[in-house]
């Protein structure tokens, strides 16, 4: 029996316009070094657990490059897209873990308030829009960047399993 834990995650996203789903996406994420090191420290060395994780959006400009070495304080050349109504990054609220999987019980929604092209999504311990502190857990990119208009809603389900 192979019970080795191989953490991975995936995003499912729905693009809503005028109350109708116009596109659905599913893509994997990379758990960055900082995120994996946090889990190892927390579980095996008495590090501090993160009480709440938050989702953020990765802008398509400048052209992003996602890397395992990215952190919240150092992730050039990608930048966060903050053109959404929510005051802070929305919280990812998972249900109970089962069958080596944990996922949010309700979608994490972003109400877009301007024209923007989104490259991808990230998971962090910091709720502050444009904040550069906290732990970067994971990043993921759409198969191709996605254009949004004001009043569009991006609904996200995030799942981690091992």
Does this model's pTM top 0.85? My answer is yes
Helix (H, G, I), strand (E, B) or coil at 41: helix
For the segment 29-50, what is each residue's pLDDT rounded down to a tens digit? 989 999 989 988 888 888 789 9
Which tens digit of pLDDT belongs to each residue from 102-136? 999 999 999 999 999 999 999 999 999 999 999 99
Q: Which of 38, 49, 53 is nearest to 103 (CA)?
A: 53
Domain extents in the chain:
8-161
Tokens 């962090």 correspond to 124
Phi first, then psi, for residue 6 (nearest 5°) are: -125, 90
Note the pLDDT tens digit of each residue in 91-108: 999 999 999 999 999 999
Per DSSP, the residues of 83-97 read -BS-SSPPEE-B---
């Amino acid at each position: 029996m192979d019970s080795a834990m191989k953490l991975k995650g995936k995003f499912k996203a729905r693009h809503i316009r005028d109350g109708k789903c116009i596109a659905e996406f599913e893509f994997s994420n990379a758990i960055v070094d900082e995120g994996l090191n946090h889990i190892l420290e927390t579980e095996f060395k008495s590090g501090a657990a993160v009480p709440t994780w938050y989702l953020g959006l990765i802008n398509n400009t400048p052209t992003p490059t996602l890397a395992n070495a990215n952190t919240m304080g150092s992730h050039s050349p990608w930048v966060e897209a903050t053109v959404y109504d929510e005051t802070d990054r929305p919280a990812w609220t998972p249900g109970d873990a089962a069958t080596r999987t944990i996922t949010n019980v309700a979608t994490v929604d972003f109400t877009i308030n301007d024209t923007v092209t989104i490259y991808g999504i990230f998971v962090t311990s910091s709720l502050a829009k444009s904040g550069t502190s906290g732990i970067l857990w994971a990043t993921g990119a759409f198969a191709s960047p996605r254009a949004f208009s004001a009043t569009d809603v991006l609904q996200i389900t995030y799942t981690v399993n091992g």
